[in-house]
């Protein structure tokens, strides 16, 4: 007797190669063998119109590969079951055919069923999707299986919660995966009520979160996904930020049950899910979604000095920014002392709400004496210390050199994240500033050549203005101008004195030419040969026109001059000599 499978193969070959010869032949449908329970076969009746009914044929074998032998014939066309009394304790495999008096017709065979119960059904995943548990499992390979029974573990034990037909996916409307892990089993069943054995349970991933307001971290913890044959290969952390669609943000070990999200911000809302993947497969199990609007202590993360300059009173001024929602216990403006240590010079009010932009003028501090370096320090409500990078305006030093030249050098502007564009050098004359020239961002010296034919009468003072850009928090950019201290250079006093003059000639005044007079005291006295003073002035711009105090022309001849200059630093310079008055 050939096996059922061999018979089916022969039939297929005949159909394919006989082609048109079989088109006119009838096919005799078999009974619909449904299931076997307690050695009793159950089937549904077929519909055949080819010739009179003869009987149903039942074939059996103790091996799925055959050989299959005829066990019995059923002469009653309406009979739907048969008890195989000789089955014993062995596992049997059965199929059926319908026998009709229909010459030339082909008898088809039913599915081959086993007396074994259905095989165990492996669950592929127990996921939480949109707040509900979604189970997926592998379809049974047993042809008699027509339904699946879903079991869930409850407070009353493990109980059936649903029976489904024709699908391998099921959504549980009665579970609460947002409050705890849910355990599930899926059993295959046939129309006779035979079910597969319980396989290992699959449980949903239940994720919880804790918030550390001072560390500003969100820590996720969850139960591991269990009972995948291949184990968990990897897990992915998905984040939906501020209501946006969820995106994968990190991949971690399949063994991990904790994850810490750093640098959280209570201006944001966070929704996390865990997605586990079975090693070597595409099976994915999702956790519940845990959403947080964390109440965190907000530090001044973006605190930064953005501007520093020296005003006309030679006092430093600075500006800084920080988050207006920062939660602080205290803050101060700090200045570096001679030992290089920062000390607070001005407390800053930290009562909320804070200002985003802030400013401070260090009144009474002379920025022309030495470079003044500042920072902003703060202590947040978690007692964590925060400080900005130091900042200082350019510090200018001017020096006089021979040959009518002053040289300038400066330490550059120091502001974190500032990009220097150029330096412009100015001469300061009272309230006026006169541009002298520019240098590029990396040049911190400048030489000022003086005009010997028109030398200044006082020290020359200078200031350097630095043009820079800086990126502010929030993505905006500012272009600013910062000035250095004012510093002055004094050339050596130079006095040129003529030895004769003619009031009616080309050189009609006797007046010394003085360069680099620094604003101190000046006197010039003229005496005749008898020691009488005939002229006196304290104005270096006024000379002797050859007249006596009464307006009468002085007699031609030799006179004596006494010129006395006292500098602003107390240095005294005296010149004496004779001059000739020509008529």
pLDDT, residue 3, reads 41
Lay out the sheet containing 183-189: strands in order across. 157-164, 147-154, 183-189, 202-203
CATH code of the domain in which 378 resides: 2.60.40.10
Asked whether residue 459 falls in the same domain as residue 334, the answer is yes
pLDDT, residue 23, reads 53
Asked whether residue 363 falls in the same domain as residue 394, the answer is yes
Residue whose pair of structure tokens reads 């003869």 in the numeric block: 54
Residue ending a domain, among 62, 88, 114, is: 114
Q: Judge residue 339's burial from the number of C-beta atoms within 10 Å of its C-beta, 0-12 exposed, 13-18 middle, 19 or more buried.
A: exposed
Other C-beta atoms closer than 10 Å to the C-beta of 467 total: 17
Nearest Cα neighbor of 382 from 267, 211, 208, 209 is: 211
pLDDT digit string, tens, across residues 221-230: 999 999 999 9
Residue ending a domain, among 203, 223, 254, is: 203
Asked whether residue 162 falls in the same domain as residue 220, the answer is no
CATH code of the domain in which 575 resides: 2.60.40.1220
Does the global pTM surpass 0.75? Answer: no
DSSP string, 36-105: EETTEEEEE-----SS-EEEEEEEEESSTT---EEEEEE--TT--EEE-TT-TTS--EEEEEEEES-TTP
Ordered alpha helix ranges (H), 404-528 = none
Angle at the Cα of 396 from the Cα atoms of 391 and 399, rounded to 5 degrees:
160
pLDDT digit string, tens, across residues 362-395: 999 999 999 999 999 999 999 999 999 999 999 9
pLDDT, residue 430, reads 84
Nearest Cα neighbor of 345 from 377, 379, 383 is: 377
Asked whether residue 482 falls in the same domain as residue 343, the answer is yes
pLDDT digit string, tens, across residues 231-274: 999 999 999 999 999 999 999 999 999 999 999 988 899 999 99
Q: How confident is the model at residue 22 (pLDDT cuts 50, 70, 90)?
A: very low
Nearest Cα neighbor of 307 from 474, 481, 476 is: 481
Asked whether residue 199 falls in the same domain as residue 212, the answer is no
Q: Is a pLDDT exceeding 70 seen at residue 4?
A: no
User: Terminal CA-to-CA distance of the chain, rounded, Å?
Assistant: 162
DSSP code of 442? Answer: T
Q: Are 309 and 483 in contact (CB under 8 A)?
A: yes
Asked whether residue 483 falls in the same domain as residue 507, the answer is no
pLDDT, residue 196, reads 95
Asked whether residue 28 falls in the same domain as residue 134, the answer is no
Tokens of 262: 């750093």
d(CA 468, CA 307): 10
Torsion angles phi and psi, residue 139, rounded to 5: -65, 145
119 Cβ partners below 8 Å, 6+ apart? 140, 141, 142, 188, 196
pLDDT digit string, tens, across residues 462-493: 999 999 999 998 889 999 999 999 999 988 77
Asked whether residue 361 falls in the same domain as residue 480, the answer is yes
Asked whether residue 401 falls in the same domain as residue 439, the answer is yes
Asked whether residue 306 falls in the same domain as residue 450, the answer is yes
pLDDT, residue 491, reads 82
d(CA 316, CA 363): 8
d(CA 6, CA 148): 31
Among the residue ranges 367-371, 411-415, 449-453, the one predicted with the least confidence is 449-453
pLDDT, residue 8, reads 44
| Owning domain of residue 189 | 123-203
Percent of the chain scoring above 90 in pLDDT: 84
d(CA 433, CA 448): 15
Asked whether residue 339 falls in the same domain as residue 441, the answer is yes
pLDDT digit string, tens, across residues 133-187: 999 999 999 999 999 999 999 999 999 999 999 999 999 999 999 999 999 999 9
Q: Domain tally for the chain? A: 5
Asked whether residue 576 falls in the same domain as residue 501, the answer is yes
pLDDT digit string, tens, across residues 258-268: 999 999 988 89
Type and span of the H or E element at 6? helix 4-18
Q: How confident is the model at residue 517 (pLDDT cuts 50, 70, 90)?
A: confident
Residue ending a domain, among 56, 82, 114, is: 114
Nearest Cα neighbor of 457 from 491, 488, 480, 424 is: 491
> Can you point out the beta strands (E) in 472-556?
477-483, 487-489, 494-496, 500-501, 513-515, 521-527, 533-537
């Amino acid at each position: 007797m050939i096996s059922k499978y061999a018979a089916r193969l022969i039939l297929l070959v005949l159909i394919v190669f006989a082609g048109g010869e079989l088109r006119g032949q009838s096919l005799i449908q078999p009974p619909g063998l449904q299931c076997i329970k307690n050695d009793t076969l159950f089937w549904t009746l077929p519909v055949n119109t080819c010739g009179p009914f003869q009987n149903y044929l039942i074939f059996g074998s103790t091996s799925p590969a055959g050989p299959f032998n005829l066990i019995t014939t059923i002469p009653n066309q309406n009979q739907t079951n048969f008890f195989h009394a000789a089955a014993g304790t062995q596992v049997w495999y059965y199929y059926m055919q319908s026998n009709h008096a229909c010459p030339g017709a082909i008898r088809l065979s039913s599915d081959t069923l086993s007396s074994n119960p259905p095989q165990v059904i492996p669950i592929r995943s127990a996921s939480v999707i949109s707040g509900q548990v979604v189970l997926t499992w592998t379809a049974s390979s047993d042809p008699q299986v027509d339904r699946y029974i879903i079991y869930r573990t409850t407070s009353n034990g493990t109980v059936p919660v649903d029976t489904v037909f024709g699908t391998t996916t099921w959504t549980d409307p009665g579970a609460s995966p947002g409050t705890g892990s849910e355990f599930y089993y899926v059993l295959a069943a046939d129309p006779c009520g035979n079910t597969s054995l319980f396989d290992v349970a699959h449980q949903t991933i239940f994720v919880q979160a804790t918030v550390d307001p001072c560390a500003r971290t969100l820590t996720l913890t969850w139960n591991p996904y269990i009972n995948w044959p291949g184990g968990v290969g990897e897990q992915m952390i998905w984040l939906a930020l501020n209501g946006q669609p969820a995106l994968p943000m990190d991949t971690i070990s399949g063994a991990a049950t904790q994850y810490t999200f750093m640098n959280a911000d209570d201006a944001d809302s966070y929704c996390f899910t865990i997605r586990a993947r079975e090693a070597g497969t595409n099976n994915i199990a999702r956790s519940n979604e845990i959403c947080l609007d964390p109440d965190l202590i907000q530090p001044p993360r973006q605190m930064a000095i953005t501007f520093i300059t020296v005003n006309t009173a030679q006092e430093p001024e600075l500006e800084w920014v920080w988050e207006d929602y920062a939660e602080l216990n205290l803050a101060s403006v700090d200045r570096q002392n001679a030992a290089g240590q920062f000390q607070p010079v001005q407390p800053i009010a930290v009562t909320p709400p804070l200002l985003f932009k802030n400013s401070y003028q260090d009144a009474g501090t002379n920025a022309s004496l030495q470079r003044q370096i500042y920072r902003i320090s703060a202590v947040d409500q978690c007692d964590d210390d925060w400080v900005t990078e130091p900042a200082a305006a350019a510090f200018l030093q001017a020096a006089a050199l021979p040959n009518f030249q002053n040289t300038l050098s400066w330490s550059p502007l120091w502001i974190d994240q500032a990009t220097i564009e150029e330096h412009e050098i100015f001469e300061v004359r009272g309230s006026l500033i006169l541009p002298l020239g520019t240098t590029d961002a990396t040049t911190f010296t400048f030489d000022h050549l003086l005009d010997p034919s028109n030398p200044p009468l006082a020290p020359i003072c200078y200031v350097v203005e630095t043009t820079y850009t800086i990126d502010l928090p929030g993505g905006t950019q500012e272009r600013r101008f910062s000035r250095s201290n004012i510093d002055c250079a004094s050339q050596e006093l130079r006095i040129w004195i003529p030895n004769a003059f003619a009031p009616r000639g080309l050189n009609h005044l006797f007046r010394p030419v003085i360069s680099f007079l620094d604003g101190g005291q000046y006197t010039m006295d003229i005496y005749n040969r008898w020691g009488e003073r005939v002229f006196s002035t304290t104005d270096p711009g006024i000379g002797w026109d050859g007249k006596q105090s009464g307006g009468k022309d002085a007699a031609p001849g030799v006179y004596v001059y006494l010129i006395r200059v006292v500098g602003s630093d107390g240095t005294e310079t005296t010149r004496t000599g004779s001059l000739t008055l020509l008529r």
